């Protein structure tokens, strides 16, 4: 893996100075083309051995390119904010929008490598982390990101020499700490671990570039040329890289049965029973959130359902039991420009709550396999792969002790019509009914199919869907509250 | 995951009989179009719960389609031949060529599921196996295969009912064994495990189709329609599904250094020393292969190198130390038609040796990233992804205690010319020099680049390359023999 980066690559001063001006100019040009076209985001990882030139390379890129359009993140220990969320959260929130570059010094590789080198984890843990990274980068590539992963390498000898020469010079002695020498003792372990990790994660979409770090001029020219060529090659594509066609059909509808039609829409709750139960369950919910154990978990509630299914009403019955500092409601509409410039799930990762808190999504990431699928806002391949990406996303939440409760509020087509008409007649509800609602209604069957596929593909053992018979609002609200209480209880 | 397959789907006799003739005809038509076009291979998995209709569905497909063009494999326990190879070997050798269909009843999922259900493995093992399956299916999809994965499901109640009704009937009682009831007791565990596995491995390229198995007519129609639609959709593509463009550049050549140029080509061995060492190492090799421990490993030797680098000579010096029943030499030239119709690595998987044996590859799977890359015989994306596929392939060999030794025989351009000329002048060697050899020589620099990339990307901690200075044949042969002995010794 590292053979080519131990050859003693070198560039003499004359060659370097002759090549530099043209390279820098071309790099700047490419960056401006990127900014102007907003064609894709650039995700860059700078890693490697101590003293291999990571810091210097980050500085260099910021000097050669227009630093105002680069975000550089030197990620060390996670903050308390970050520790409260799944490990990938800190990287998701730093992903660049189209047209920008982000340089990660310290990335989704660092922790797993360090844990393994220090013997705090097993080979299997390293491999699991690398598989997670592969999925993450596959998603980034599918979303159009240009991924550049650099590994700056020094041979054992070169690293030792470098530390010694820094120590000798009184001016640079301060740079060598005991920790550096400790690290050096682990060189062989680090070499082996990195070799394994890099082998697993060097893919056609996101290969590792291993650069010998000994000679600064060689290192700089190599780095600059890779960045330039990669930017240019991608910019020259007149259209985004073609995605594979999803040629596989959905499950055909062979009979009239489906999950939604099977629901008992006659379920009802008389007003008196409703009021009594509402009090009971709201009280239970309030107490649950005050239990000490609640500080170790968090709760994500997802509401999906056709227009006028009663999502808002159900949400209000939940929050009236909660301390306002404890929850956040996230209404999901069409994405903003900023959201559109990021990978699809970015806008949802942003709102993952800290421990001890609740986030309630009024519509959610399922939009991709519902409205975006039915309305053709994304390609077939995009919504087909979304099932996986969503399952993967939710698995990360659940692994991090987030209680994930997903509700589908089901009403009949007739009941929707009644509610639409009632809304039109009630002054203060008129804003709730739009042309779009009527248009969506025309595609009832297509939505029904999309909903059934969604439940089939994303109702998993770790994050099941709860289908709520919502023809009667009272019944629906109590079922929601009761389910939520039970799921939190089970987690505590 | 299984919700939709527990609804009690049903199709009445009349509907079934009305739909059947057209469906069967269309299926046959589609199959003949597939056979004629030889456009892609079809890989089908039939799995699910006991009594869900797996066997019946396999029979059905063989009845509805032209069975002469279908291979059906009911895989149970691996044979001794299969146990001697890495677990995926048995599936690789059964993969269909373009234009054919293979139905796997018992697949790369079975063992991992069963091990987990019976508590013989951990969740992490299951996940590792599923990740391996994902990579395998990704490769199949990249190679153009149509992958159809069916899971026939019964609810717990339905399965119990089925077993009881079979038992009641004196005519079918024999079909219910104690083992079936034992399996039934594990239903919940099986449900959970399958749910986890299916969630992880349902991808856009190879989604799982979960079919309710209770009603035979529903099951048959659903299966038939999926196969038909999938075949038709893929056949209608006028060209193979577009592959992503590999827009990422290789490592640029910034200075004149590279792995090959760094080799010391003056290394030489005087004839006398050579003859003595040859005897020593051949003896050592012979003894090693006779050690009892050798029966638990096997050896795969790969020879790569430019034309006239001395591969054949080195191979002859190895085999003269070996019992002829013990080894096989696999000369790799342009692929045959049959090989071309299979996924790239198929032709190499075929030759993986049993335990206690050696396979010596004279050229190898590295052709894809050498000659196929340089000559443009495959797309950039194809050779870029090959590095991963090769590393994954080799990792499977090494995990299975196969000693994998890879030699690159390096000679200078001048030395090659000398040898070419000598071959032209020596009568009995004239067949060894062709027009093609001269043409390849013109692309020396491109080959050199491809070789360096290959070593960088595939010299891993588990399967390193050994670069052999082969300017002097004697020196090269001894280095090869010595390395081989050392690697086998380390493994014993």
DSSP secondary structure string for all residues of A219-280 = HHHHHHHHHHHHHHHHHT-SSPPPPPP--PPPPP--SS--TTTTS-TT----HHHHHHHHHH
Examine the pLDDT at B20 and tell me if it is beyond 70.
yes
Element (H, E) at B405: strand B402-410
Q: What pLDDT, on the 0 to 100 scale, is given for residue A401?
A: 93
Q: What pLDDT, on the 0 to 100 scale, is given for residue B336?
A: 87
Interchain CB contact of A246 with B (< 8 Å): yes
Interchain CB contact of A63 with B (< 8 Å): no
For residues A47 and A105, what is the distance between their CA atoms, to the nearest angstrom?
6
Q: What pLDDT, on the 0 to 100 scale, is given for residue A51?
A: 84
Q: Are residues B174 and B283 in the same domain?
A: no
Nearest in space to A382 (alpha carbons), one of A55, A32, A80, A143: A143
Q: Are residues B194 and B284 in the same domain?
A: no
CB-CB contact of A93 with A356 (8 Å): no
The answer to whether the CB atoms of A207 and B262 lie below 8 A apart is no
Task: Tell me if residue B307 falls in helix, strand or coil.
Answer: coil
Measure CA B10 to chain center. 40
Strands B146-153 and B42-48: parallel
For residues B281 and B275, what is the distance between their CA atoms, to the nearest angstrom?
10
The answer to whether the CB atoms of B241 and A221 lie below 8 A apart is no
pLDDT digits 0-9 by tens, B110-152: 999 999 999 999 999 999 999 999 999 999 998 889 999 999 9
Per-residue pLDDT band at B212 (split at 50, 70, 90): very high
Examine the pLDDT at A249 and tell me if it is beyond 90.
no
Q: Are residues B226 and B276 in the same domain?
A: no
Token pair recorded at residue B60: 């059905």
Please compute the mean of the pLDDT values over residues A315-334 and round it to a whole number: 91
Examine the pLDDT at B96 and tell me if it is beyond 90.
yes
Interchain CB contact of A318 with B (< 8 Å): no
Per-residue pLDDT band at B411 (split at 50, 70, 90): very high
Name the domain boundary from A235, A258, A286. Answer: A235
Q: Which chain A residues contact residue B248 at CB under 8 A?
A: 148, 204-207, 230, 233
Give the Cβ contact number of residue B316 at 10 Å.
Answer: 11
Interchain CB contact of A182 with B (< 8 Å): no
Q: What pLDDT, on the 0 to 100 scale, is given for residue B203?
A: 86
Per-residue pLDDT band at B316 (split at 50, 70, 90): very high
Q: What pLDDT, on the 0 to 100 scale, is given for residue B278?
A: 96
Q: Is residue A264 part of a domain?
A: no
Interchain CB contact of A248 with B (< 8 Å): yes
Q: Are residues B180 and B316 in the same domain?
A: no
The answer to whether the CB atoms of B7 and A199 lie below 8 A apart is no
Q: Are residues A432 and A487 in the same domain?
A: yes
Q: What pLDDT, on the 0 to 100 scale, is given for residue A242?
A: 56
Helices (H), B271-345: 271-290, 311-319, 337-340
Token pair recorded at residue A467: 């289908």
CB-CB contact of A388 with A117 (8 Å): no
**Average pLDDT taken over every residue of chain B:** 90
Q: What pLDDT, on the 0 to 100 scale, is given for residue B242?
A: 56
Q: Are residues B199 and B333 in the same domain?
A: no
Distances (CA, A) of A44 to A66, B7, B75, B472: 15, 48, 46, 45
Token pair recorded at residue B55: 């066997």
Q: Is residue B251 part of a domain?
A: no
Examine the pLDDT at A245 and tell me if it is beyond 90.
no
Q: Is residue A261 part of a domain?
A: no
For residues B419 and B308, what is the distance between their CA atoms, to the nearest angstrom?
7
Find, in chain B, the residue whose alpha carbon is nearest to that of A147: B248
Token pair recorded at residue B460: 């891993």
Interchain CB contact of B243 with A (< 8 Å): yes
Give the Cβ contact number of residue A238 at 10 Å.
Answer: 5
Examine the pLDDT at B434 and tell me if it is beyond 90.
no
Please compute the mean of the pLDDT values over residues B50-60 and round it to a whole number: 90
Examine the pLDDT at B337 and tell me if it is beyond 90.
no
Q: Which chain A residues contact residue B210 at CB under 8 A?
A: 251, 456
Please compute the mean of the pLDDT values over residues B299-303 and round it to a whole number: 97
Q: What pLDDT, on the 0 to 100 scale, is given for residue A259?
A: 87
Nearest in space to B492 (alpha carbons), one of B324, B321, B290: B290
pLDDT digits 0-9 by tens, B163-195: 888 888 888 788 788 888 888 899 999 999 999
B178-185 and B187-201 helices cross at what angle (nearest 10)? Answer: 70
Q: To the nearest whole percent, how much of chain B has pLDDT over 70?
A: 97
Sheet bearing A70-74, strands edge to edge: A70-74, A101-105, A42-48, A146-153, A208-212
pLDDT digits 0-9 by tens, A10-63: 999 999 999 999 999 999 999 999 999 998 999 999 999 888 889 999 999 999
For residues B208 and B5, what is the distance between their CA atoms, to the nearest angstrom?
13
Q: What pLDDT, on the 0 to 100 scale, is given for residue A19?
A: 92
Q: Are residues A319 and A223 in the same domain?
A: no
Helices (H), A65-101: 80-83, 89-92
Element (H, E) at B402: strand B402-410
Q: Shortest CB distance from B230 goes to which of A4, A207, A248? A: A248
Q: What pLDDT, on the 0 to 100 scale, is given for residue A324?
A: 86
The answer to whether the CB atoms of B127 and A127 lie below 8 A apart is no
The answer to whether the CB atoms of B218 and A457 lie below 8 A apart is no
Q: Shortest CB distance from A8 goes to which of B131, B257, B385? A: B257
ipTM score of complex: 0.79
The answer to whether the CB atoms of B3 and A455 lie below 8 A apart is yes
Q: What pLDDT, on the 0 to 100 scale, is given for residue B239?
A: 59
CB-CB contact of A66 with A43 (8 Å): no
- Per DSSP, the residues of B205-249 read SS-EEEEE-SSHHHHHHHHHHHHHHHHHHHHH-SSPPPPPP--PP
pTM: 0.84
Q: Is residue B250 part of a domain?
A: no
Q: Are residues B372 and B474 in the same domain?
A: yes
Task: Looking at the complex, report in whole angstroms how far the Cα of residue B438 sits from the nearest Cα belonging to chain A.
Answer: 28
Strands B146-153 and A42-48: unpaired
Helices (H), A327-472: 337-340, 346-349, 371-374, 380-399, 413-425, 435-442, 444-458
Q: What pLDDT, on the 0 to 100 scale, is given for residue A225?
A: 92
Name the domain boundary from B189, B213, B236. Answer: B236
CATH number of domain containing A374:
3.40.50.300
Mark which residues 209-228 of B lie under 8 Å from A by CB.
209-211, 218, 221-222, 225-226
The answer to whether the CB atoms of A255 and B218 lie below 8 A apart is yes
Examine the pLDDT at B289 and tell me if it is beyond 90.
yes
Residue A52 is classified by DSSP as S
CB-CB contact of A322 with A289 (8 Å): yes
Please compute the mean of the pLDDT values over residues A324-350 and round it to a whole number: 90
Task: Tell me if residue B353 falls in helix, strand or coil.
Answer: coil
Interchain CB contact of B204 with A (< 8 Å): yes
CB-CB contact of A362 with A315 (8 Å): yes
Q: Shortest CB distance from B225 goes to which of A3, A252, A259? A: A252
Examine the pLDDT at A246 and tell me if it is beyond 60.
no
For residues B345 and B93, what is the distance between their CA atoms, to the nearest angstrom?
10
Interchain CB contact of B457 with A (< 8 Å): yes
The residue ranking higher by pLDDT, B257 or B393, is B393
The answer to whether the CB atoms of A210 and B251 lie below 8 A apart is yes
Task: Looking at the complex, report in whole angstroms how far the Cα of residue B67 sits from the nearest Cα belonging to chain A.
Answer: 23
Q: Which residues contact B414 (CB under 8 A, 6 or more apart)?
A: none
Examine the pLDDT at A119 and tell me if it is beyond 70.
yes
Q: Which residues contact A39 (CB under 8 A, 6 or more apart)?
A: A98, A99, A234, A235, A240
Find, in chain A, the residue whose alpha carbon is nearest to that of B131: A131
The answer to whether the CB atoms of A9 and B128 lie below 8 A apart is no
Interchain CB contact of B18 with A (< 8 Å): no
Q: Which chain A residues contact residue B194 at CB under 8 A?
A: none
Counted across chains A and B, CB pairs separated by less than 8 A come out at 198
Q: Is residue A109 part of a domain?
A: yes
The answer to whether the CB atoms of B241 and A234 lie below 8 A apart is no
How many domains is chain B partitioned into structurally? 2
- Per DSSP, the residues of B15-49 read HHHHHHHHHHHHHHHHHHHHHHHT---EEEEEEES
Burial string for A317-354 (b: 16+ CB within 10 Å, else e) reads bbbebbeeebbebbebeebeeebebbbbbbbbbeebbe
The answer to whether the CB atoms of A7 and B257 lie below 8 A apart is yes
The answer to whether the CB atoms of A246 and B204 lie below 8 A apart is yes
Q: What pLDDT, on the 0 to 100 scale, is given for residue B247?
A: 60
Examine the pLDDT at B240 and tell me if it is beyond 60.
no
Interchain CB contact of A234 with B (< 8 Å): yes
Find, in chain B, the residue whose alpha carbon is nearest to that of A141: B244
Q: What pLDDT, on the 0 to 100 scale, is given for residue B282?
A: 95
Interchain CB contact of B16 with A (< 8 Å): no
Q: Is residue B11 part of a domain?
A: yes
The answer to whether the CB atoms of A202 and B381 lie below 8 A apart is no
Nearest in space to B391 (alpha carbons), one of B460, B455, B303, B452: B460
Q: Is residue A460 part of a domain?
A: yes
Find, in chain A, the residue whose alpha carbon is nearest to that of B457: A1
Examine the pLDDT at B311 and tell me if it is beyond 90.
yes
For residues A107 and A229, what is the distance between their CA atoms, to the nearest angstrom?
23
Task: Looking at the complex, report in whole angstroms how far the Cα of residue A155 sits from the nearest Cα belonging to chain B.
Answer: 15
For residues A100 and A116, what is the distance between their CA atoms, to the nearest angstrom?
33
Mark which residues 437-456 of B lie under 8 Å from A by CB.
452, 455-456
Q: Are residues A96 and A171 in the same domain?
A: yes
The answer to whether the CB atoms of B4 and A455 lie below 8 A apart is yes
Mark which residues 391-420 of B lie under 8 Å from A by CB.
391
pLDDT digits 0-9 by tens, A266-308: 999 999 999 999 999 999 999 999 999 999 999 999 999 999 9
Q: What pLDDT, on the 0 to 100 scale, is given for residue A240?
A: 57
Interchain CB contact of A132 with B (< 8 Å): no
For residues B462 and B460, what is the distance between their CA atoms, to the nearest angstrom?
5
Q: Are residues B415 and B298 in the same domain?
A: yes
Lowest-confidence range among B234-238, B364-368, B441-445? Answer: B234-238
Q: Which residues contact A234 (CB under 8 A, 6 or more apart)?
A: A39, A40, A146, B247
Per-residue pLDDT band at A171 (split at 50, 70, 90): confident
Task: Looking at the complex, report in whole angstroms how far the Cα of residue B174 sits from the nearest Cα belonging to chain A.
Answer: 33
Please compute the mean of the pLDDT values over residues B43-49 and round it to a whole number: 94
Please compute the mean of the pLDDT values over residues A174-203 and round it to a whole number: 88
Q: What pLDDT, on the 0 to 100 scale, is given for residue B244?
A: 56
pLDDT digits 0-9 by tens, A206-223: 989 999 999 999 999 999
Q: What pLDDT, on the 0 to 100 scale, is given for residue B245?
A: 56
Q: Is residue A438 part of a domain?
A: yes
Q: Which chain A residues contact residue B214 at CB under 8 A?
A: none
For residues A304 and A370, what is the distance between their CA atoms, to the nearest angstrom?
10
Task: Looking at the complex, report in whole angstroms how far the Cα of residue B187 sits from the nearest Cα belonging to chain A.
Answer: 14
The answer to whether the CB atoms of A252 and B233 lie below 8 A apart is no
Nearest in space to B213 (alpha carbons), one of B60, B18, B43, B111: B60
**Average pLDDT taken over every residue of chain A:** 90
Measure CA B241 to chain center. 21
Find, in chain B, the residue whose alpha carbon is nearest to that of A217: B254
CB-CB contact of A15 with A120 (8 Å): no
Task: Looking at the complex, report in whole angstroms how far the Cα of residue B283 sits from the nearest Cα belonging to chain A.
Answer: 32
Q: What pLDDT, on the 0 to 100 scale, is given for residue A297?
A: 95
Domain holding A69, by residue range, is: 3-235
Token pair recorded at residue B263: 């080799």
Please compute the mean of the pLDDT values over residues B335-344 and round it to a whole number: 88
* Radius of gyration for the alpha carbons in chain B, expressed in angstroms and rounded: 27
Token pair recorded at residue B135: 């990579």
Give the Cβ contact number of residue A100 at 10 Å.
Answer: 20
Interchain CB contact of A254 with B (< 8 Å): yes
Q: What pLDDT, on the 0 to 100 scale, is given for residue A256?
A: 81
Q: Are residues A314 and A203 in the same domain?
A: no
Interchain CB contact of B122 with A (< 8 Å): no
Examine the pLDDT at B319 and tell me if it is beyond 90.
yes
Token pair recorded at residue B155: 């609810």
Task: Tell me if residue A481 falls in helix, strand or coil.
Answer: helix
Q: What pLDDT, on the 0 to 100 scale, is given for residue A77?
A: 83
Q: To the nearest whole percent, how much of chain A has pLDDT over 70?
A: 97
Per-residue pLDDT band at B243 (split at 50, 70, 90): low
For residues A477 and A428, what is the distance between their CA atoms, to the nearest angstrom?
22
Strands A101-105 and A208-212: unpaired
Examine the pLDDT at A418 and tell me if it is beyond 70.
yes
Location of structure tokens 């390359």: B465
Q: Are residues B207 and B276 in the same domain?
A: no
């Amino acid at each position: 893996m590292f053979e080519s980066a131990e050859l003693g690559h070198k560039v003499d001063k004359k060659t370097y100075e002759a090549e530099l001006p043209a390279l820098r100019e071309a790099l700047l040009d490419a960056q401006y083309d990127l900014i102007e076209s907003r064609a894709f985001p650039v995700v860059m990882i700078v890693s490697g051995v101590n003293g291999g030139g990571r810091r210097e390379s980050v500085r260099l890129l910021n000097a050669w390119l227009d630093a105002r359009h680069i975000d550089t993140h030197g990620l060390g220990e996670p903050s308390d904010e970050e520790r409260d969320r799944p490990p990938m959260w800190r990287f998701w929130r730093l992903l660049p929008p189209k047209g920008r570059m982000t340089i990660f010094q310290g990335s989704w590789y660092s922790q797993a490598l360090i844990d393994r080198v220090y013997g705090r984890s097993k080979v299997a843990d390293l491999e699991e982390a690398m598989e997670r990274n592969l999925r993450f980068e596959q998603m980034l590539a599918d979303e159009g990101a240009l991924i550049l992963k650099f590994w700056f390498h020094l041979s054992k000898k070169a690293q030792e020499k470098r530390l010694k020469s820094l120590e000798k010079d009184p001016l640079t002695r301060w740079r060598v700490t005991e920790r550096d020498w400790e690290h050096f003792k682990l060189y062989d372990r680090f070499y082996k671990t990195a070799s394994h990790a890099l082998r697993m994660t060097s893919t056609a979409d996101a290969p590792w570039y291993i650069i010998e770090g000994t000679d600064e001029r060689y290192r700089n020219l190599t780095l600059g040329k890779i960045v330039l060529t990669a930017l240019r090659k991608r910019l020259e594509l007149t259209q985004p890289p073609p995605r594979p066609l999803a040629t596989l059909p959905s499950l055909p509808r062979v009979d009239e049965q489906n999950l939604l039609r099977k629901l008992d829409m006659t379920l009802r709750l008389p007003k008196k029973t409703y009021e009594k139960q509402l009090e009971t369950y709201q009280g239970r919910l309030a107490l649950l959130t005050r239990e000490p154990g609640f500080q170790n978990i968090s709760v994500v509630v997802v509401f999906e359902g056709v227009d006028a299914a009663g999502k808002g009403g159900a949400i209000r019955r939940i929050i009236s039991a909660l301390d306002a500092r404890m929850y956040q409601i996230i209404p999901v509409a069409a994405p903003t420009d900023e959201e559109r410039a990021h990978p699809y799930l970015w806008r949802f990762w942003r709102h993952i709550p800290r421990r001890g808190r609740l986030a309630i999504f009024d519509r959610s990431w399922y939009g991709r396999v519902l409205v975006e699928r039915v309305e053709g806002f994304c390609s077939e391949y995009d919504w087909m792969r979304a099932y996986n990406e969503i399952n993967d996303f939710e698995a990360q939440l659940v692994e991090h002790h987030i209680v994930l409760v997903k509700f589908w509020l089901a009403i009949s087509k007739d009941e929707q019509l009644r509610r639409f008409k009632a809304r039109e007649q009630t002054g203060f509800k008129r804003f709730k009914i739009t042309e779009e609602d009527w248009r969506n209604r025309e595609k009832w069957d297509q939505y029904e199919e999309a909903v059934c596929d969604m439940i089939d593909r994303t109702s998993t053992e770790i994050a099941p869907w709860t289908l709520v018979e919502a023809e009667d609002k009272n019944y629906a609200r109590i079922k929601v509250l009761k389910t939520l209480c039970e799921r939190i209880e089970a987690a505590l």
